Amino acid sequence: MMLTAQSRSTALSSEIQHVLKVRAPEIITGGRRKLMSKRSTSQVKAVIQSGNNKKTTNLVEKLVSSGKSGNLDVRAVITLRKKMKEKITDKIEDQWESFMNGIGRGILIQLISEDIDPVTKSGKIAESYVRGWLSKPSDHPYIVEYAANFRVPRDFGRPGAIIITNFLDKEIHLVQIVVHNFNEGPIFFSANTWIHSRKDNPESRIIFQNQQAYLPSETPPGIKDLRREDLLIIRGTGKGERKLHERIYDYDVYNDLGNPDKSEDLARPLIGGKERPYPRRCRTGRSPTKTDPLAESRIEKPHPVYVPRDETFEEIKQNTFSAGRLKALLHNLVPLIAATLSSSDIPFTNFSDIDKLYNDGFELNDDEHSQKNKFLSDTLDKVFSVSKRLLKYEIPAIIKRDRFAWLRDNEFARQALAGVNPVNIELLREFPIVSKLDPAVYGPPDSAITRDLIEQELNGLTVEEAIEDKRLFILDYHDMLLPFIGKMNNLPGRKAYASRTLLFHTSRGVLKPIIVELSLPPTPSSPRNKRIFTHGHDSTSHWIWNLAKAHVCSNDAGIHQLVNHWLRTHACMEPYIIATHRHLSSMHPIYKLLHPHMRYTLEINALARQSLINGGGVIEACFSPGRYSMEISSAAYKSMWRFDMEALPSDLIRRGMAVEDPSMPLGVKLVIEDYPYAADGLLIWSAIKEYVESYVEHYYSEPNSVTSDVELQGWWNEIKSKGHPDKKDEPWWPKLVTKEDLSGILTIMIWIASGQHAAINFGQYPFGGYVPNRPTLMRKLIPREDDPSYENFILHPEFTFLASLPTQLQATKVMAVQDTLSTHSADEEYLHQVHELQRFSVNDHEVLRISERFCAKLEEVEHTINQRNKDNRLKNRSGAGIPPYELLLPTSGPGVTCRGIPNSISI
């Protein structure tokens, strides 16, 4: 249907008939055919401008313009980005691309006016192919620029959209288009998007100018239809398998984690639905497996899982991630070969084995198998010779200043407030402690922690006095884990308990653990299958106490990874992102606000489904829950996840870690003042809240402007009904009626994507990189006096402790993954850079002032946090051997820094 240059020289009268008699009905009906009819109209203009038949030309000019005489010569500069690392085939394609663009046959650009064309009743159109190179080439080695020249009537109006068609054989990465010579000055169409080849998809792409945000009711008339059209394209039909070049956003359940066609052991239940509720993920539409029609077939590495094209990693990020994967591969290669050369995977036998990971790398056992596997040994030597630096681990922050800090009780407690998982500690508000599980299945509900046991540790206080003074706290994983403990302990090499840990805040302001309760499922002979541990004062009880704490840390690591990290940030953010693209036009002010906070999340989540949370993946292989990991995550979602409680102040109040206090800036006062995560988090939360409220006020100052915004209402309804359908009827979902409602919802989303994720992600290697501090699984139960292994424990307590931890292969695999997940990419975009990012895409001076104030506020926050880290009174963030708490510092450089808040969940 696209007219060629030759066809444009046909008789003008027949062209007019074609437009007015044949194309007019298509224009009225709309849809995708409408874009083609618009192009034909612009081709009429091209013929008009060629000078044929003056009388008819005047007639058509009256139909297709407002009647004003004269034209404007307009130039559009198109900026494309090339690959940084090109293969020979890429370079050949680049030459062909340059040739096709040089002769004007590569990329078609159509300018769409914000004004209505009286004939088409849609925006006026002018079109041109890009041609040749600009006379001044780009200074950037990976950027190329082309130009397209247009002649438009002077009354054409301001371009509000561009339709771009890529006739090349490959996709292109469009950075931006800048249109010159209109009275308003340069008009920017910042894109940073992939434009598919027409051979993959005949539909053209719509790019809106993004200097001005428009609510749906404010959309200029010339581009209203295109706004609706673009959202329809993005939503797709919900059918068929998605192709890698597409940009379609839709929902699905987690039915792609197992691989039953490969092995029965890799079959996994569907996650998402009435039985196992869960947030939804991005639909890929792959065919079902042969053995299970409800399971989606898998794509294994190195083949990519579909995400909408613009959600994929850019090249710098991809290189950083690939380097991390290479590092993980090399880290795991050594113990893997060691396990091959030995009879089985081996435990750490002494603490020196662990130290060697940081000092010397890993050394092979010199046993009889070495000679039988000389090829493997020689291969390993070669790997060492070329990659020795990659095979050594950096010393984790937790032992860098004090290698024995992890052994101390106060460090164990400190990490509940300032570690990588500071979001599970709760105030103990009732005693006795009672389970909510069914006693018919799980035994008597009362905890084995008694009043006498507690009061031995309270320095003269009664339990009631300690509770009233808010001095008793608990880490309670009992109800969350006990239903799964029996199944977990049937897995090879796994032994776990459901744990409760009681902590006491002393009069000196120090938090310390006082009692650990470890529970197993009840048996006929032991209906109260619970054990109590205290720190004791002799060597035997000391080692037993350390084993009990290690089991608590293992539970903490699993809940951190599966619930607080994966579920509450990664998985819950995914439906917000999908709904934002499906319902909010890129012109919508709320889309613009959220856009920096959605970067890379769908891609990292797809990679996680491919190799981290999948059946047989890293999480199952190296964390206590094993194959039941995602079932535990689903159970946690069912029992405890609430959108409104994801607000930091609400979460702190829910856990009893803060109380309402109208005299405080955010209306809350911390129960423990020296709670670094909460104290710093409230600063970040406050800055985000202030920023969002000012932004929303700017666009929604009119009465009923929130309820009348059809895109916004559709967005929020779909988040509940399709993004979280298993909880769509819960009464706690916020209403979306006022600008205050909207500000509250957006503040939660931005906090989750930025501050919350940073606080529980980037400390993974600094805290977990030393296995004894934070084992991800335990392989042995704590020996009892009547156990055959007890005598060996008495003789070799260190060996028993280490043999209970992950094996060398499991430990190094987790360390490698944690190292990758804790790494900032060189192209990371941080929270304090919002103003810098918006300067290139927003021309609203008030919005720029709002973002500038936000960034200035974050600079103040960073200064405040740095000062807190120097305050000797704050023992949880300063002191001998104590690493400063920097996870909520806004800025960071690349690498594993244990600081910095990216805008989005990007790793």
The Cα 886–Cα 898 span in angstroms is: 7
Residue written as tokens 């209505």? 116
Contacts of 332 (CB under 8 A, 6+ apart): 809, 812, 813, 816
In the chain, count of helices (H) and strands (E)?
33, 18
Residue written as tokens 């199944």? 487
Buried b (16+ CB within 10 A) or exposed e, 463-499: beebbeebbbbbbbbbbbbbbbbeebbebeebbbbbb
Count of Cβ atoms closer than 10 Å to residue 748 Cβ: 24
DSSP 80-147: EE--SS--HHHHHHHHHHHHHHHTT-SEEEEEEEEEEPTTTSSEEEEEEE-EEE-SS--SSTTEEEEE
The Cα 864–Cα 866 span in angstroms is: 5
Residue written as tokens 């002018």? 126
Query: Would you call 663 helix, strand, or coil by DSSP?
Result: coil
Buried b (16+ CB within 10 A) or exposed e, 125-141: bbbbbbbeeeeeeeeee
Residue written as tokens 């990189």? 769
Q: Which of 87, 565, 566, 607 is nearest to 322 (CA)?
A: 607
Query: Which amino acid appears at position 56 of this protein?
Result: T
Q: Which of 281, 305, 284, 291 is nearest to 259 (CA)?
A: 291
The Cα 162–Cα 107 span in angstroms is: 12
The Cα 144–Cα 137 span in angstroms is: 7
Q: How far, rounded to the nearest angstrom, does the alpha carbon of residue 486 sit from its chain's CA centroid?
A: 32
Residue written as tokens 């080439």? 137
Active-site positions read 565, 570, 757, 761, 907
Residue written as tokens 């006990």? 482
Start-end of H helices in 177-314 = 224-235
Q: Which long-range contacts (CB under 8 A, 24 or more apart) does 188-191 make?
A: 188/840, 188/841, 188/843, 189/162, 190/840, 190/841
DSSP 13-40: HHHHHIIIIIIHHHHHH-SHHHHHHHHH
The Cα 888–Cα 688 span in angstroms is: 13
Contact 549, 497 (CB under 8 A): no
Count of Cβ atoms closer than 10 Å to residue 38 Cβ: 25
Sign of CA dihedral 761, 596, 630, 267: negative
Q: Which of 593, 2, 577 is nearest to 247 (CA)?
A: 577
The Cα 72–Cα 153 span in angstroms is: 6
Reduced to 3 DSSP states, what percent helix, strand and coil does the chain have, rounded to the nearest 5? 45, 15, 40
The Cα 322–Cα 340 span in angstroms is: 26
Q: How far, rounded to the nearest angstrom, does the alpha carbon of residue 327 sit from its chain's CA centroid?
A: 22
Q: CA angle 45-49-52, nearest 5°?
A: 105
Q: Which long-range contacts (CB under 8 A, 24 or more apart) does 713-717 make?
A: 714/583, 715/579, 715/580, 715/582, 715/583, 715/584, 715/590, 716/745
- Terminal Cα distance for the chain, rounded: 44
Query: Which amino acid appears at position 180 of this protein?
Result: H
Which tokens belong to 791?
Answer: 């005598």
Contact 131, 137 (CB under 8 A): no
